[in-house]
């Protein structure tokens, strides 16, 4: 079931995955011209890389990381997988699907507000897919998340508590941190950068002045940032954090890079990318202006972004670009679409007033 993996030549000095990968994603994902209506006054030429098309039950960017993580779980003889996220976590849903595909039992620790702990959580958005996949759900209190620090480290502590209980039951769970952000998971997007490089060499994609992506747990951004630097592609990377603060992500990316063998000669995260703060509203929270933005982009371009990751990331980047017009005027920009569509279904009530109203068809008598 697992396949061998050979790192690209520019990553040979890094610590490669011991157990290779499992083929989960539909790769390569296409790079396409994109009729994004934003920054038209700057003459921006938009392209999009469709990692929302990786498959594995709409897993988006998660599928690339999970290919390496599931191979590692199998290689270590685990019988289950335990990971953590918010109640509408794309990562948890993707992990559940990947685990079932390779024959492991998925356990999902979902952090809920205290007021919802004893309620029926329903079947909206990602929860529908989680529960249809038979994932074992473990609800953690939001107050415990805050007690442990209210950050990515707090999520790992809650996950560890669930893992400890599974071990007491005699299970051998594979621990997947929030977002799948581990040194092994980082290989998913190191490989993705090589995929993009090959597409450019084969003239399936042009060279880009700027690449933009969303940053949730930081693993995808770490792989892209380090990969662009080592592969020498020369595109300026702009990431948007959708929770916490940019400084935490610079530090996380440096830590992930060091853990897979990047040295001082490879530079640091602050040299590799710019991170813009899109987390002011809090994780998963949005407002009417952002939802109107998502609707406008969908109508103009045929690409539906979500309110947690991609929509918030593009919105925040465009806001920044308008404050620095000379930096982006006439640039060719690639938006790396990392998926996340199912979560948007939780915003139905707020979107009703933004989408076009239907028109009744009347027939002539």
Catalytic residue ranges: 89
Neighbours of 119 (CB within 10 A): 10
Neighbours of 26 (CB within 10 A): 11
Using DSSP, state whether 177 is helix, strand or coil.
Answer: coil
Beta strands in the chain (DSSP E): 2-3, 21-22, 31-33, 45-50, 80-86, 105-112, 136-141, 173-175, 210-215, 236-241, 273-277, 332-337
Closest CA to 50 of 361, 338, 255: 338
Distance from chain centroid for Cα 130: 17
Radius of gyration of the chain (CA): 20
d(CA 363, CA 365): 6
Q: What DSSP state is assigned to residue 40?
A: G
Beta strands in 51-204 (DSSP E): 80-86, 105-112, 136-141, 173-175
| Strand ranges of the sheet holding 332-337, from the earlier edge strand across to the other edge | 31-33, 45-50, 332-337, 210-215, 236-241, 273-277
Q: What angle do CA 127, 130, 131 make, to 5 degrees?
A: 90
Q: Where are the alpha helices (DSSP H) in 169-306?
A: 183-201, 219-231, 246-259, 269-272, 288-301
Closest CA to 343 of 239, 235, 214: 214
d(CA 338, CA 93): 14
Distance from chain centroid for Cα 189: 11
Give Cα separations from 104 to 61, 73, 177, 189 (angstroms).
21, 9, 17, 24
d(CA 143, CA 361): 52
């Amino acid at each position: 079931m697992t396949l061998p993996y050979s790192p690209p030549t520019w990553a040979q000095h890094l610590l490669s995955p011991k157990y290779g990968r499992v083929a989960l994603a539909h790769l390569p994902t296409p790079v396409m011209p994109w009729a994004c209506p934003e920054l038209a006054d700057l003459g921006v030429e938009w392209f999009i890389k469709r990692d929302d098309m990786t498959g594995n039950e709409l897993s988006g960017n998660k599928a690339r990381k999970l290919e390496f993580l599931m191979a590692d779980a199998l290689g270590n003889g685990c019988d289950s997988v335990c990971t953590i996220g918010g109640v509408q976590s794309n990562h948890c849903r993707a992990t559940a699907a990947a685990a079932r595909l390779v024959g492991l039992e998925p356990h999902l620790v979902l952090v809920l507000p205290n007021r919802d702990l004893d309620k029926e959580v329903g079947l909206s958005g990602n929860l529908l897919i989680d529960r249809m996949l038979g994932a074992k759900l473990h609800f953690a209190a939001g107050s415990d998340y805050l007690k442990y620090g209210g950050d990515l480290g707090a999520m790992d502590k809650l996950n560890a508590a669930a893992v400890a209980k599974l071990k007491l039951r005699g299970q051998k769970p594979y621990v997947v941190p929030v977002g799948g952000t581990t040194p092994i998971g980082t290989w998913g997007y190191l490989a993705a950068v090589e995929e993009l490089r090959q597409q450019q060499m084969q003239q399936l994609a042009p060279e880009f002045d700027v690449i933009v992506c969303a940053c949730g747990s930081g693993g995808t951004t770490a792989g892209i940032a380090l990969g662009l630097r080592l592969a020498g592609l020369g595109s300026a990377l702009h990431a948007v954090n959708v929770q916490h603060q940019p400084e935490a992500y610079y530090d996380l990316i440096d830590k992930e890079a060091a853990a897979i063998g990047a040295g001082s000669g490879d530079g640091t995260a602050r040299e590799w990318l710019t991170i813009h703060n899109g987390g002011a509203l809090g994780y998963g929270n949005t407002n009417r202006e952002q939802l109107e933005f998502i609707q406008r982009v969908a109508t103009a371009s045929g690409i539906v972004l979500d309110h947690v990751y991609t929509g918030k990331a593009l919105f925040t980047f465009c806001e920044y670009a308008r404050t620095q017009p000379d930096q982006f005027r006439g640039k060719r920009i690639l938006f790396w679409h990392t998926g996340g569509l199912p979560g948007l279904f939780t915003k139905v009530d707020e979107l009703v007033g933004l989408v076009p109203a239907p028109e009744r068809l009347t027939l002539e008598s």
